[in-house]
Amino acid sequence: MPTAIVFYHMSGLIKTFREATEMQCGFIHKLLGLDLGEVSAFSDSLVSFIRSTEKNKFVYGLAAGRSALSVYSFLQLLQNHFDNVFPCTLEDPVQRHFDPGRHNLGLAVSGSGETASVNKYIEDVMDQGGEIKLITANRNGTAYRLVEDYENASVLILEAKTKYSTDKMERSRLSPMGTEFELEVLAFLNALFKDIQSRLQGVCRDDCPDYCRTILEFEKYGRSLLDMQEAPLEHWFSRLFPRSGRYMIGGVGRSGLVCRAFEMRLTHLNKISYWERDFNTPSFQIGDVYIPITGSGNTYEILEGTERALERGADVMPITSNPQSQLVNRMRETGREKDVVFIPVSPIYQDIFSGDRVSKSWLVSSFSKYRYPIFEINTSIFTNSVVAVGAEFLGIEEAGMKRMHV
């Protein structure tokens, strides 16, 4: 496709990007409409679990696909803040860690409530007598029916689009494949953690002020994506989609969770894509594109991946928030600075997304370890909007994406 035509077409897709971003910010805003009494009760039950006098506690993240990645962000917060809370995932069978003499919690998340593996693990926790907390969008789903009569269970409903929803057309175009529920889970759990911290400090309010303030903050900084300049976005889109090579997405920690979610959607767009740290990920070659996601732009693993990509002739198109980083400096040195997209973040966190000091994923500062994921939530919104743009550019509808879904 000639360059002039590509840019003309991409210019028309800026509207799609902004509409998709606006819609996703609306998804986050919806979380303020939850019954705060139910939110308070859900938070109290988690506080009771954390306050338990048991020496060690196990939290099983019972979710699959992109919903699992949203849950894992919350599990990282628990692990970072509490030395005696140990998160487990679906890769760890419940029976491997379950100890009837300790406190065991299954945190199950399923939008439709019909994910077979999740329901199987819910049953496993119940069979062992453990506690279950379910977040779902479907009161008629199998997951809901499994736990509704279980004595040691609680359910929170997040109203979101699932395959059972009506009024699908616009949401399918701008938010395909269940993005609404996944983003709401990510924002909800991270905001809920603020409320949990307040309750642990003795501030127990039914109106959940810290939860509400955090949701408003997530929405506010999500809307800052609407102010991103058109020309850099047009250039980035024009470099990203009209290609036949493979897509390699890189990231570690919570940024790694975002990159894995993005990689899944690229697969649904019928692209050959890999998460950089998977065992089956091939080496870079000419025609590939490496998309590292890193707030600081100084993560050692990302810098190493960038060097390997450049050495082998692959394109590099970073998503970051730090114009002074070693990653961006390397892009300048190679004349590729225009291939970087910058995600706006809260001024509160601007200091940690600045400078050029290299860090490693296993050696981070306490502030970075405990900070709230403004960059990750904004990047989730951004990459979800990019998927909507890609679907329109490539002429792929949600039904086609579903056929690519596992």
**What average pLDDT does this structure show over 108-135?**
92
Q: How far apart are CA 41 and CA 206, in angstroms?
A: 8
Q: b/e for 323-336, b at 16 or more Cβ within 10 A? A: eebbbbebbeeeeb
Domains of the chain by residue range: 21-223, 228-404
> Is the CATH number of domain 21-223 3.40.50.10490?
yes
Could you write out the three-class secondary structure of 166-235? Answer: CCCHHHHHHCCCCHHHHHHHHHHHHHHHHHHHHHHCCCCCCCCHHHHHHHHHHHHHHHHHHHCCHHHHHH
Decide: 130 and 105 in contact? Cβ < 8 Å. Answer: yes
Weakest-pLDDT range from 67-71, 201-205, 260-264: 67-71
pLDDT value at position 179?
84
21-223 and 228-404, same CATH topology: yes
Of these ranges, 56-60, 316-320, 365-369, the one predicted with the greatest mean pLDDT is 316-320
> Is the CATH number of domain 228-404 3.40.50.10490?
yes
Give residue-wise pLDDT tens across range 137-187: 999 999 999 999 899 999 999 987 644 444 556 677 788 777 889 999 999
- Does the structure show a pLDDT above 50 at 4? no
pLDDT band for position 80 (50/70/90)?
confident
Q: How far apart are CA 60 and CA 94, in angstroms?
A: 7
Burial bucket for residue 7 (CB in 10 Å: 0-12, 13-18, 19+): middle
Whole-prediction pTM value?
0.89
Decide: 68 and 87 in contact? Cβ < 8 Å. Answer: no
pLDDT band for position 248 (50/70/90)?
very high
Give residue-wise pLDDT tens across range 218-233: 999 999 999 999 999 9
